[in-house]
Structure 1
């Protein structure tokens, strides 16, 4: 009986030793996780920041505590003053104080202000072209033949209204037309001024 008990104790001791040898400890089962630091605004490059010289109102509104009113104030200031030279210039905008400056500094940058889109898309002026010249053919087609012109055509002349146009038509019917452009001055109510104002427009053939 004693031998049987001793045998059981010996077997139990052996099993316990084996378990102690192969059983993993709590330290062995623990996995060390190194936290990944979150990027801060200071870690980012200028490409991650908002350029206050070229940002839209929506982009400025996304900055901490700026809001729509301050975003519009920033745009107004940069348009009136030709943009921001440094980040510190933002302090000159109404509603932006030292507190806002320190809060915004990590998120903003200043780059060269781009010209407005309308200016950038404007067609270049070719100075070499000079004033537009009218060819003799075009000038002739624009002229009004006072011997055959209708009432509406005559009213295209500077200083000639409906009454004077009717007088011109009546005069040419009575006297058989005009021999040269200067004859229009013989019409009642048509003087040298009207003739000189329209000398490049009137013809008789």
Structure 2
């Protein structure tokens, strides 16, 4: 036989692999949840709250200015002089323990006429020492007017309806509440995304996998 005729055919045998077994198997990184788009939620909340509050202020600005007007008191028979704004509401008070008027009228210059007494916005009528709320009315005219009432004894007090201040306060609370929710939403999103990034990094580069050795 010719020398070398028994040379084995085929690929050479593979040597032993690197100590410690095969290297780590790296897979695709898991998606980051929640997505970065969730950061838009707190921004939208803040923008909507700001726009809503300033729109409310603009809408109620004139009423707020009128509500800051002065009050007047005096004898119901002789009349109480007060500056009225047509279409705006006013609160009528009588002495604590006194009777409520059954009719009132307003006189501006040579014109005079009765006004309708209601209980509109009575829930927001402020407390005044020695007086109690008794009725509400809407001003039929604008300007300095003389208000007279019948059926009550003792002085009466007339104040602008300041319910608008309560609405503005509620609007401010709603805007602040939306801002707090926005901060919480931003914080939760940031914390959850940070945790998701750490888990993704651990999945791609396992900490406990042995390094390659050559």
TM-score by length of 1: 0.23
Larger C-alpha radius of gyration, 1 or 2? 1
1 or 2, which has the higher strand percentage? 2
Q: Which has the higher contact order (CA 8 A, sep 6+)?
A: 2
TM-score by length of 2: 0.22
1 or 2, which has the higher helix percentage? 1
